[in-house]
Chains A and B, each alone.
Chain A
């Protein structure tokens, strides 16, 4: 068993979550503020699509857009960026596939914030950007965090779209799920067990750790109730 897939997976999931978190949160914020209900519904549908489509189909679309013979792909190639079958492609696949989870969690988190706090903030003269930063985001933090955890976990486990657009190149784009697949296909069961165990442990520790941190941060202004 080689350690490279573990490192590639962690690196991919960590970089991907930065993009996913920021893009998903900002998209949700912008669309939550939009007035046109129909446009909101269409945006919701488009941004949810990667979640409902099989990842291989999402990967197929990405190949179609970023392939070196496609307009966008050749444009990037002209700039010296070859995306397909690179490590960057694993990040792209993880971001696209996990974005719906982040977006939907953030939308729900913003919807749950009582609009009366935002109204109060407006009447005391706070600028919209300050309201977002000081009031809306902190009050939505638990929902944003859980969206982040889901997205990270989804990115860590991403397989189908990664295989399509990043390939399965050992030492470059072979993430843990792909390494597990390769090990099983090659009849190296011991190696597969090892990766599976590590994937389970890493996922568990990460999700557990984040929950503890959020609980400690937001718990101070929430009333504890007996259940």
Chain B
């Protein structure tokens, strides 16, 4: 299973220039709206023709501008799950699935019945799409896709049309469906949670091109540049100035910090995720007999700083705390469990390995 995409396309003042490969597992294209992720997916499906470039899948050339190859969507064997599912409104659930069926005609009825059963649609077979809930529509759309046995599955913001409750159920369900599917899967999403939960590999798109790529957990742990850090949800980013082998001065926060690895000349910024701050031990009176590991002590002595809380926003499970350092002008976000007592906290610390060194 391998998908290779290297395409360029200009459209109404927007320039897409995307190059990435995916060998195994599920690939997520993560980006904000206008990043070119949906356009990329439509280029893979053949619904949009790139201006130039190459798309190959499992050894088949789907598009090659140099060789003048541009397979029609019908010839690409690519299943596309649309944002609003695009079920044919003039057909019942059964008809929607039957029309997509590829296989021996005399097996059609039995195979369609098996698909209906597998996606929990047996009771709904005679209904029209307008009579179904969002989750049911999504299951019909998936059944319709698998009825034509595609070699790749493209998911375009599959959960954006569902409400929160249903979304979480469908995420779990889709993850199971993907696990049983042997073809290539590409997920387009603007939600880092979805990308993190569902995908194995990640390509972050911004402004029409990829800004980071790699295994999902690695990209989240080391986004590498400012844009990728923001899109993976890093709330706090400051310009920096190198002051030592691993030390730098964060200009926006007015504090000096130590990173886990060496700071290079190309690192112009540093990022800290809002969840990663810990109350500095010195903020609490030492409890008798509490062991404090030497590593933690040492890290803290270099990365602890005094703070002043400016604002608190209570959420259901967490609260957002907006604070400033003693010297700094910029606001910093800290997100903690909502039961954390923050009243007496006067200092925070950050582990060196939680500091993201970023290029511009």
Please indicate whether A and B come from the same complex rather than being unrelated chains.
yes
Contact B73 A139 (CB under 8 A): no
A121: chain B residues within 8 A (beta carbon): 88
Q: Within 8 Å of chain A (Cβ to Cβ): is B209?
A: no
Asked if A119 meets B90 with Cβ closer than 8 Å, knowing A125-B100, A127-B74, A220-B128, the reply is: no
Inter-chain contact B90/A221, CB cutoff 8 Å: yes
Q: Known interface pairs A117-B86, A134-B99. Does A123 touch B130 (Cβ–Cβ under 8 Å)?
A: no
Contact in complex: B130, A122 (CB < 8 Å): no
| Cross-chain contact B89 with A139 (CB below 8 angstroms) | yes
Interface of A is mostly: helix
Is A122's CB under 8 angstroms from B90's CB? no
Judging by beta carbons under 8 Å apart, are B45 and A123 in contact?
A: yes
Does A23 sit within 8 A of B, measured CB to CB? no
Contact for B74 among A122, A221, A223, CB less than 8 A: A122
B80 within 8 A of A: yes
Count of chain B residues near A, Cβ 8 A = 29
Residues in A whose Cβ lies below 8 Å from that of B74: 122-123, 125-127
Chain A 185-222: CB-based contact to B (< 8 A → 1; otherwise 0): 00000000000000000000000000000000010111
B73 touching A119 by the CB < 8 A rule?
A: yes
Contact with B along A93-134 (1 / 0, CB 8 A): 000000000000000000000101101111111110000001
Docked Cα-Cα span, A134 to B128, in Å, equals: 15
Quick check: B90 and A124 within 8 Å, CB to CB?
no
B72 to chain A, nearest CB (A): 7
Contact status A123-B47, CB under 8 Å:
yes
Per the bound structure, the CA–CA distance linking A124 and B249 in Å amounts to: 56
Task: Give, as a whole number of angstroms, the nearest-CB distance from B254 to chain A.
Answer: 52
Task: Answer whether A116 and B148 are a contact pair too, CB < 8 Å, given A122-B73, A223-B130.
Answer: no
Q: Are A139 and B47 in contact (CB under 8 A)?
A: no
Contact: B72 with A120, CB < 8 Å?
A: no
Contact residues of B between 76 and 127, Cβ < 8 Å to A = 76-80, 82, 84, 86-91, 99-100, 102
CA distance A120 to B79 in the complex (A): 9
Q: In the complex the two chains form, what is the Cα distance from A164 to B99 in whole Å?
A: 50
Q: Does B145 contact A (CB under 8 A)?
A: yes
Cβ of B144 under 8 Å from chain A: yes
Give the most central of A120, A127, A220: most B CB within 10 Å: A120
- Say yes or no: A124 contacts B84, CB within 8 Å: no
Which of chain B's residues has its CB closest to A119's CB?
B47
- Looking at chain B's contact residues, the main secondary structure is loop
Q: How large is the interface on A (under 10, 10 to 19, 20 to 34, 35 or more residues)?
A: 20 to 34
Our pick among A116, A125, A126, A138 for the contact of B82 (Cβ within 8 Å) is A116
Give the one of B76, B88, B147, B148 with max A CB within 10 A. Answer: B88
Q: Known: A116-B84, A139-B90. Is A124-B128 also a contact (CB below 8 A)? A: no
Residues of B close to A139: CB separation below 8 A:
88-90
Complex Cα gap A127–B82 (Å):
19
Contact of B148 among A114, A124, A222 (CB under 8 A): A124
Contacts of B87 on A, CB cut-off 8 Å? 120
The distance from the CB of B154 to the nearest CB of chain A, in whole angstroms, is 8
Identify which of B45, B78, B89, B99 contacts A221 (C-beta below 8 A). B89
Chain A residues within an 8 Å CB radius of B100: 124-126
User: Which residues of chain A have C-beta atoms less than 8 A from B45's C-beta?
Assistant: 119, 123
Residues of B within 8 A of A120 (CB): 80, 82, 86-88
Question: Which has the most chain B C-beta neighbours within 10 Å: A119, A123, A134, A220?
Answer: A123
Does A150 count as interface, using CB distance less than 8 angstroms?
no
Distance between Cα atoms of A220 and B90 in the complex (Å): 9
**What residues on B are CB-neighbors of A134 within 8 Å?**
88, 91, 99
In the assembled complex, the CB of A32 is this many whole angstroms from the nearest CB of chain B, namely 17
Are A135's CB and B78's CB within 8 A? no
Query: Given known contacts A116-B84, A119-B86, A123-B78, is B128 in contact with A221 (CB within 8 Å)?
Result: yes
CB distance from B92 to the nearest CB of A (A): 9
Within 8 A of A (CB), among B28-72: 45-47, 72
List the 3 closest A-B pairs by CB distance, nearest first: A120-B86, A122-B73, A124-B100
13 of the cross-chain contacts (CB-CB < 8 Å) are A116-B84, A119-B47, A119-B82, A120-B86, A122-B46, A123-B45, A123-B74, A125-B148, A134-B88, A135-B90, A139-B88, A221-B89, A221-B130
- Additional pairs, 14, CB under 8 Å, beyond known A119-B47, A122-B47, A124-B99: A119-B45, A120-B82, A120-B86, A122-B72, A123-B46, A123-B73, A124-B148, A125-B100, A125-B102, A125-B148, A134-B99, A139-B88, A218-B90, A222-B89
